[in-house]
């Protein structure tokens, strides 16, 4: 633990919550001098206090020990930033709103990094009877197919599972903005943004 970085983080989190050093100290049953000492980097919280401190700030002990908020901590709640973990062995799809430790079929999975679809890779989007109809010219063979399509906006996630035997056809409610994300077994995770018309 870098006590200077941890101290700076404690101060940042405390001020974001509009707590004084004394108020934080009271929640932890320590003196305000101890909080001041931590924030100046002249010491660090006792290991027994880290769990309570993490609870007060709504974070975890690992964040406090590292002394920095992971970029994904600040993105919690924005579904457009949803992480997709896909198991190559069984096709399982696991989502998380920030980085997570995910395993499936005995292997640790890493979040797929989406890339913007090229013009010829994009899904075709048509408006029909108050909804959207999605299709793709993508081949759907047993070894090369789109396994799912997801719609994301700031507060909504919809996931549509696809199978190799199907031609990709998805009907969903009408949304004029948001993001479409899909996973191709050979090309990886792709996305395109829906634009308001």
Look at the pTM and tell me if it is higher than 0.95: no
- Tell which CATH architecture fits domain 79-194: Sandwich (2.60)
Which pairs from 41-49 meet CB under 8 Å and 24+ separation? Answer: 41/3, 41/4, 41/5, 41/6, 41/7, 41/8, 42/3, 42/7, 43/3, 44/1, 44/3, 44/6, 44/7, 45/6, 45/10
Class of domain 3-69: mainly alpha
Query: Could you list the pLDDT tens digit for every one of the 197 residues in the chain?
Result: 788 888 898 898 888 888 899 999 998 999 999 999 999 989 888 888 888 888 888 777 778 888 776 544 444 456 778 899 999 999 899 999 888 889 999 999 999 999 999 999 999 999 988 899 999 988 899 889 999 999 998 788 999 999 888 889 999 998 878 899 999 999 999 999 887 55
- Residue limits of CATH 2.60.40.730 in the chain: 79-194
- Residue limits of CATH 1.10.260.40 in the chain: 3-69
Q: Give the whole-angstrom CA distance, residue 80 versus residue 98.
A: 11
Structure tokens at 23: 């108020």
Residue the block writes with tokens 């090369």: 144
């Amino acid at each position: 633990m870098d006590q200077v970085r941890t101290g700076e983080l404690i101060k940042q989190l405390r001020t974001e919550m509009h707590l004084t050093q004394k108020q934080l100290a009271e929640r932890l049953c320590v003196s305000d001098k101890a909080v001041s000492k931590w924030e100046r980097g002249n010491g660090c919280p006792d290991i027994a206090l880290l769990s309570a401190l993490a609870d007060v700030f709504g974070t975890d002990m690992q964040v406090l020990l590292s002394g920095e908020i992971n970029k994904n901590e600040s993105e919690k709640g924005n579904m457009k930033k949803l992480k997709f973990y896909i198991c190559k062995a069984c096709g399982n799809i696991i989502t998380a709103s920030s980085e997570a430790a995910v395993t499936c079929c005995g292997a640790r999975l890493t979040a797929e990094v989406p890339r913007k679809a090229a013009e010829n890779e994009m899904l075709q989007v048509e408006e029909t009877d108050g909804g959207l109809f999605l299709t793709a010219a993508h081949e759907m063979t047993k070894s090369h197919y789109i396994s799912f399509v997801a719609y994301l906006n700031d507060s909504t996630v919809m996931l549509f599972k696809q199978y190799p035997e199907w031609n990709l056809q998805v009907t969903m409610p009408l949304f004029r903005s948001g993001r479409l994300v899909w996973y191709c077994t050979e090309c990886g995770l792709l996305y395109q943004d829906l634009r308001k018309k």
